[in-house]
Amino acid sequence: MDFLKFFKNKHFAQDMPLGRINRDKIPQHVAIIMDGNGRWAQKRGLPRYAGHKAGVEALKDIVKACIELNIKILSVFAFSTENWKRPKEEVSILMELLTKHLATEKDDLHKNGVKINCIGSLDKLPPSAQTEIAKAHALTKKNHKLILNIALNYGGRLEIVEAAKKLAAKICEGNLKNDEVTEEIFASLLFTGGQADPDLLIRPSGEMRLSNFYLWQTAYTEIYVSSVLWPDFRKDNLIEAIIDYQNRDRRFGGIKK
Question: Exactly one of 83, 112, 236, 244 is catalytic; which is it?
Answer: 83
Tally Cβ neighbours within 10 Å of residue 31: 27
- Residue 149 main-chain phi, psi, to 5 deg: -85, 120
Instruction: Clarify whether 35 is annotated catalytic.
Output: yes
The residue sitting closest to ligand FPP, measured at its beta carbon, is: 38
Give 21's contacts (C-beta < 8 A, 6+ positions apart).
Answer: 69, 239, 242, 243, 246
Shortest spacing between CB 188 and ligand FPP, in angstroms:
25
Binding site for ligand FPP (CB under 6 A): 34-39, 52, 55-56, 59, 78, 83, 94, 97-98, 101, 150
CA 226 to chain centre: 15
CB contact set of 29 (below 8 Å; sequence gap of 6+) = 71, 72, 73, 74, 75, 195, 196, 197, 198, 199, 200
- Residue 38 or 198: the one with the smaller Cβ distance to ligand FPP is 38
Closest approach of Cβ 246 to ligand FPP, in Å? 26
Residue closer to ligand FPP by CB (options 182, 227) is 227
**Which CB sits closer to ligand FPP, 17 or 47?**
47
The residue from 35, 199, 212, 237 that is catalytic is 35
CB of 94 to ligand FPP, least distance (A): 6
Whose Cβ is closer to ligand FPP: residue 101's or residue 115's?
101
Look up residue 152 and give its amino acid.
L
CB-based burial of residue 90 (10 Å sphere; 0-12 exposed, 13-18 middle, 19+ buried)?
A: middle
Taking the complex as a whole, the smallest distance from the CB of residue 93 to ligand FPP amounts, in Å, to: 10
Q: Is 54 or 200 the residue whose CB approaches ligand FPP more closely?
A: 54
In whole angstroms, the minimum distance from the beta carbon of 29 to ligand FPP comes to 18
- What stretches of the chain show up as alpha helix (H) in DSSP? 2-15, 37-43, 48-69, 88-111, 127-140, 156-172, 183-188, 235-246
Give the active site residues.
35, 83
